[in-house]
Structure 1
Amino acid sequence: MGSLYELSSRAIRRIYDARITTPSVLDIDAYFPAARHYVAAWTALRQEALAVLQGASPIPRFHDVMPSQADISANDGRDWRMYLLKVYGQEVKANMDACPVLARLLASSPEVLSATLSFLAPHKHIPRHCGPFRGILRFQLNLEAPPGADGRPGATLWLDQREYRLGNGEYLLWDDTYPHEVWNRSDRTRIALLLDVHRPNMPLDLRILSRAVTTSVGMVARWRGLG
C-alpha cells in the first residue's frame, strides 16, 4: 500500500496534471453516482462503524498500517485509526464480514478501489499534505460528526484553501492531490467512511496507467497481508 507513493512519482503526477484540470471538489452524479447508495444507507453504516469502535479488537493506527505516513499520523500523540475493508482491490475478509451492509455496497461498486473506516481522535490534527495520484478520487461520508464548541461539526477539512465541515450523513467527493489538512476540534471521535474510487472518463492511456499503478499497489497489499 505504501508503494503508491513510490510508484506515483513526480513524472507520473505531471502526466496527469497536464491533462486533468478538474477542481478539488467534484459532483457525485458525474464522477461517482454510486455514492448515493452509500449516503442512503448512512445510518446503517454508522451502526456498523460504532460496533467496530466499541469492539474488543484494537483498530490499528494509520502509521501502524502504513509506516511511511507517520509524519501525518503520529505527529501529535493523538490517534488516527484506520479499519481497512478493501485495499486497492484486495478485500480484508474479517473486516468485511464485520460490516455486512458496507460489504454489500462495495460488492455492487466495482469502481471502488479501497474502503476504510477512519476514526479520528478528539483534537487530532492531520498536517497539510497532498495525495500523489490523480487517477483516483476520494469519497468521504461522515458517520459520526461530534459538535465543536460552536455547535457546528467539530472536524474541519481544509481543502484547497476552503473549509468544509461535514455533519452526520454529509459527504464530499474530492481530489486529495490538492493540499489539505484536518482538525478534530471536538471532544469525541469523528468517524468517516473513506472510499478511493477510479476517476472516470479519462483518456485511454491514463486509464491504462492508472490500472497499472493500482494493480501494483494491490499486489503489495496482498504481500503485506492486508488483503
Structure 2
Amino acid sequence: MFFESSNFPFLSVLETNWLLIKQEFEQLKSEKLIDWPEKNIYNQGWKIFGLYSFGKKLQENCQLCPQTTRLTETIPGITTVGFSRLASGTKITPHVGCSDRVLRCHLGLIVPDRCALRVGSQTKSWQEGKCFIFDDTLEHEAWNLGKSDRIVLLIDFLKPGHKLTDLSQLNCPKPLIDVMSHM
C-alpha cells in the first residue's frame, strides 16, 4: 500500500533539495557502502550507507553527508535514514518489514529505466526528485533491470500518532539492529 506524499508535507524539503542530496551521495566513496545485511532476500548488488539506524545517529557517516543529515532531521519521528543502491540486475525477493510503527519513504535520486517496487498488488517506478511512501510490513519486492545503479534515499519515520519509547517496540530482529547500528 502506497500513501500520497502530499499527506506528509514535511517531506517536501527532500523533494526541493533532492539534487543536493544526490550530490552528497555521489561524493561518497563506494567502499563506504556495505551490503544490506539480510542477504537471504536478494541475489546480489544491494548496498547501503546509513545515517540513522533504528534511532541511532551514525555520527561518522552523518559528517560525510551534513546537508542530507540536516534535511532529514527535520522529519518528525525518523528512525532510519540512509542511501540504498541497487546495482543493475539486482532483485530483492518478496518479503515483509519488521515494524508496524513506521512508514518507509524512498526519495528517487538516480533512477534508470526498468526499476520498480511492488507493495501488495501495486507496482510503482521511482522518479528522480520524488518521494513515495509505503507500509513495508506488507509484502514487497524491488528490482533493477536497468543498465545502471538505482539510488534512493530511504527514510523510516514513525506513523502519525505513534510514539517510540524503546527500540524493542520496532519488533525488528536484534541481529539486524546490531549490524545496522554499527555501520
Work out whether the TM-score is over 0.5: yes
List per-residue Cα deviations over 1:158-178 (Å, max 9, x = no partner): 111121011211221110111
Counterpart of 2:84 in structure 1 is 118
Deviations 1:79-115 (A, max 9, x none): 1001011011111111111111111113323411110
Alpha-carbon offset, residue 217 of structure 1: 8.0
Q: CA deviation at 1:36?
A: 0.7
Tell me what 1:41 maps to.
17
- The separation in 1 between residues aligned to 2:122 and 2:22, in whole angstroms, is 26
Q: Shift of residue 141 of structure 1? A: 0.5
* Map 1:128-143 → 2, pairs under 5 A: 128-143=94-109
Mapped to 1, the partners of 2:101 and 2:89 lie a distance apart of 31
How many residue pairs align between the two structures? 182
Residues 98 and 172 in structure 2, CA contact (< 8 A), matched pair in contact too: no
Larger radius of gyration: 1
Percentage of identical aligned residues: 23
CA 133–224 in structure 1, closer or farther in 2 if over 3 Å, else same? closer
Q: Tell me the equivalent position of 2:159.
A: 199
Q: Which has the higher helix share?
A: 1
2-side partners of 1:127 and 1:56: how far apart? 24
Q: Displacement, 1:224?
A: 7.6
Tell whether the 8 Å contact from 2:89 to 2:143 is kept in structure 1 after alignment. yes
Structure 1 unaligned regions, length at least 5: 1-23, 64-68, 148-153
TM-score, normalised with respect to structure 1? 0.72
In 2, Cα distance between equivalents of 1:114 and 1:197: 7
RMSD (CA atoms): 2.6
Report the residue type matching 1:119 in the other structure.
R
- Please tell me whether residue 71 in structure 1 is matched to residue 40 in structure 2: yes
Letter in 2 for 1:51: Q
Residue identity in the other structure for 2:34: P
State how far apart, in whole Å, the 1-side matches of 2:164 and 2:59 are: 28
- What is the match of residue 122 of structure 2? 162
Give, in whole Å, the separation in 2 of the partners of 1:119 and 1:39. 18
SS of residue in 1 equivalent to 2:50:
strand
**Amino acid across the alignment from 1:123:** G
In structure 2, distance between residues paired with 1:225 and 1:143:
24
Q: Give the equivalent residue in structure 2 for 1:4.
A: none
Take 2:13 and 2:59, find their aligned partners in 1: how far apart are those partners? 22
